[in-house]
Amino acid sequence: MNATSKTYRHSQLGTALGLASVLVLGACASAPPPTASLQAARQAISDADRAEAGRYASAELGEARTKLTSADSAVVEKNMTTAERLANESRAEAELASAKTANVKAGAVNDEMKRGTSTLVEEMQRNSGENR
């Protein structure tokens, strides 16, 4: 074996080691945190909160907050896939809280209108009773 082929072998070994270390590192270091999903969840919770979901859909809003906390913990544990899913679940839950709140409010406005009408009808019947 001559010197040239030895050097060549060395460089091959180096390349192999380099590749291996890249693979190992790649397995350890995870993807970046799902910043966009986390931000979207936070925004959805804040929107739901401002729509008074705390009053009309508190279970959903609470669940959204719990999921967001879990997502943040998953980021700390470098479990980015879990973090992303939890963040998306949190956002969906918060959006559900907003949707339910709007639903309750819309129903309440209608109930108020119905009450107004039935008061009118009752008054009318009472008046015509007196006239008889």
Partner 1 sequence: MSPVNRTIVKVTKTLVATAVASALLSACATAPVQPDGASRARLKLTELQSDPNLATRAPAATKEADAAVRIAEQPEVDKDLAAYRVYMADRKVEIARAQAETRFAEDQRVQLTAEREKARLDSRTREADAAKGQVAAARAEGAEQKVAAEQARGEADAANAAAASSGQQAAELQRQIDALQAKPSDRGLVVTLGDVLFMTGRADLQAGAVGSLSRLVTFLNKYPDRTVAIEGYTDSVGNEYFNQRLSERRADSVKSYLAAQGIGAIRLAASGKGESDPVAPNDSASGRQQNRRVEVIISNPPAAAR
Interface ranges with partner 1 (CB under 8 A) = 50-52, 82, 85, 88-89, 92-93, 95-96, 99-100, 102-103, 105-110, 112-114, 116-117, 120-121, 123-124, 127-128, 131
Minimum CB distance to partner 1, residue 102 (Å): 5
Minimum CB distance to partner 1, residue 6 (Å): 48
Minimum CB distance to partner 1, residue 91 (Å): 9
CA distance 75 to 34: 8
Minimum CB distance to partner 1, residue 100 (Å): 5
Closest by CA position to 89, among listed 64, 72, 70? 64
**Which CB, 24 or 110, lies closer to partner 1?**
110
Closest by CA position to 64, among listed 49, 52, 77? 49
Task: Judge contact between 38 and 83, C-beta under 8 A.
Answer: yes
**Which CB, 15 or 119, lies closer to partner 1?**
119
**Which CB, 6 or 123, lies closer to partner 1?**
123
Task: Judge contact between 60 and 75, C-beta under 8 A.
Answer: no
Q: What's the first-to-final CA gap in the chain, in angstroms?
A: 127
